[in-house]
Amino acid sequence: MNVVVANPSASDDYFRFFGLERRFNIDLAALDQAYLAIQKEVHPDRHARGSDTEQRLAMQMATLANTALQTLKHPIQRGLYLCQLHGVDARLETNTAMPAAFLMKQMEWRENLEEREEDLAELEALAEEVYQSKRDTLAEVTQAIDGAKNYVRAAELLRGLLFIDKFALELDDAISALV
């Protein structure tokens, strides 16, 4: 992995930086292994006696490795990054349009949460439904990116997944409050 320190130009693509194929469905163990190898190479102790330039480059590579790891480790961020690499901006700040069926499901989940916030069994059943929806959406994202190479569709799915994730956190909080 010494090549990473010598070749910071790999920093324009996090997948290439870690020596991984550009895919949504990645081997997380391989990602962690590549990250640890890079961190070992760029650790400040290894460059303490180096020139200011070497120390600065090592610090930049360590920072880049941390950013790249966080981006690729989390499915939504990884998917958005892949879309970006293929010229598709998910426009998260401005594009909140969602299919009507998705919005109806979100409203149904919210109503269920409000109506059953004191019923642990009902909230746990709702949580299983939400997590299944998340798993199904992740499978669709995988197909859109790794299969069809349809990054526009993937960006739409990822925007929906952000809503699902946010609701799942609220639901987890409601369940935690009852336990």
Query: Do residues 36 and 77 make contact, with C-beta atoms less than 8 angstroms apart?
Result: no
Total domain count for the chain?
2
Q: Tell me what pLDDT residue 52 has.
A: 84
Query: Does residue 5 surpass a pLDDT of 60?
Result: no
Position 32 in a domain: yes
Model confidence band, residue 92 (pLDDT cutoffs 50, 70, 90): confident
Q: List pLDDT tens digits, range 114-168.
A: 999 899 999 999 999 999 999 999 999 999 999 999 999 999 999 999 999 999 9
Q: Tell me what pLDDT residue 11 has.
A: 67
Look at 15-24, 44-53, 132-141, 153-162 and tell me which has the smallest mean pLDDT: 44-53
Distance CA 50, CA 52 (A): 7
The gap between the terminal CA atoms of the chain, to the nearest Å, is 47
Same domain, 62 and 119: no
Domain with 137 in it? 100-178
User: In sequence order, what are the residues at sequence separation of 6 or more whose Cβ sits closer than 8 angstroms to the Cβ of residue 132?
Assistant: none
Position 93 in a domain: no
Question: Could you say which of 34, 55, 73 is where a domain stops?
Answer: 73
Within 10 Å of residue 91's Cβ, how many Cβ atoms? 11
Query: Do residues 40 and 129 make contact, with C-beta atoms less than 8 angstroms apart?
Result: no
For the whole model, what pTM was predicted?
0.85
**Quick one: what percent of the chain has pLDDT higher than 90?**
70
Position 1 in a domain: no
Distance CA 83, CA 149 (A): 9
Position 87 in a domain: no
| Mean pLDDT rounded to a whole number for the chain | 89
Distance CA 131, CA 92 (A): 22
Q: Is 18 left (phi over 0), alpha (psi -120 to 50) or beta?
A: alpha
Classify residue 118 by its DSSP letter. Answer: T
Position 84 in a domain: no
Among residues 19, 50, 59, the alpha carbon closest in space to that of 37 is found at: 19
Query: Does residue 45 surpass a pLDDT of 70?
Result: yes
Same domain, 115 and 160: yes
Query: Does residue 29 surpass a pLDDT of 50?
Result: yes
Classify residue 49 by its DSSP letter. Answer: T
